[in-house]
Amino acid sequence: MSEPTHDTEPAHDPELLQLAAKVFDLARQGGTDTLAAYVDAGVPVNLTNDKGDSLLMLAAYHGHADAVTALLQRGADPNRANDRGQTPLAGAVFKGEDAVIQALVDGGADPTAGTPSAVDTARMFGKDELLKLFGAA
């Protein structure tokens, strides 16, 4: 008796890929309650896309402080860099998302992590108030 063959492996399962795309869209759009429910139901909180962007990175970059807080409360890594070495905090500094920056700092984000770091990004844009917040003034 031979083992059954599977045409799709888990990483290429169309239903799984469709679910992942939906969850990434929720992070980008700030669908906090639905996003949190998916994570609570078993979607990995540190799930990343093909560019290494985590759910937290997408929520932070797109300015969704409530989604950022919900993901951090569920164990998201605030310092996880994407494939380009960028962290959620540096992305939020770049985008000028003050509420997201505060949520990330409150959630333990390291302003010196990543390339460029949040400190480097704040210096680049002359954001002295953020350098003070980061203890780098």
What is the value of pTM for the model shown? 0.88
The confidence score (pLDDT) of residue 5 equals 47
Q: Which two tokens stand for residue 82?
A: 């994407």
User: What confidence tier does 137 reach under pLDDT thresholds 50, 70, 90?
Assistant: confident
The confidence score (pLDDT) of residue 136 equals 82
Share of the chain above pLDDT 90, in %: 85
Q: What is the pLDDT of residues 76-120, one digit of tens each?
A: 999 999 999 999 999 999 999 999 999 999 999 999 999 999 999
Sign of the alpha-carbon dihedral angle for 43, 80, 72, 100:
negative
The confidence score (pLDDT) of residue 17 equals 85
The confidence score (pLDDT) of residue 16 equals 84
Is 127's pLDDT higher than 90? Answer: yes
Contacting residues for 117 by C-beta, under 8 A, at least 6 apart: 87, 90, 111
| Alpha helices (H) along 30-106 | 32-40, 55-61, 65-73, 88-95, 98-106
Q: What CATH fold (topology level) applies to the domain 13-133?
A: 1.25.40
Distance CA 21, CA 28 (A): 11
The confidence score (pLDDT) of residue 8 equals 47
User: What confidence tier does 14 reach under pLDDT thresholds 50, 70, 90?
Assistant: confident
